[in-house]
Amino acid sequence: MTVLLVVLGAAVGAPLRYLTDRAVQARNGTTFPWGTFTANVIGCAVLGFLAAWPVGGGVSELASVGFCGALTTYSTFGYETLRLAEEGERLSPLFNVVASIGAGLGAASVGALLAGLVHG
């Protein structure tokens, strides 16, 4: 049952990541991976919220592991950072690393704070 919940969550998270990436990249016209950055930050915020919210009964597997796991992508982040460096970009790879980690941690913190406020 747990594996099925993870699969169901991932079936929603993965297409949402792809659609988010395409929508954001289509609007900015740069080589910087804003689409992946956006999907990762959103996923961190949702996961921070879920981690602070008292959930049970498979919600963690469905939403945290499945949905957030598929929405966020460390492998694409790593690949796109390497691609920026290989294309001769000097500051963009460094900015991608620092901004992604900082924004991800910040988003997770805000999500957790929001869960605390809502749950009270």
- Would the annotation count 31 as a binding residue? no
> Is 72 annotated as ligand-binding?
yes
Question: Around Cβ 120, how many Cβ atoms within 10 Å?
Answer: 5
- Residue 106 CA to residue 93 CA, distance in Å, equals 20
- The binding site for Na(+) comprises 69, 72
| Residue list for the binding site | 69, 72
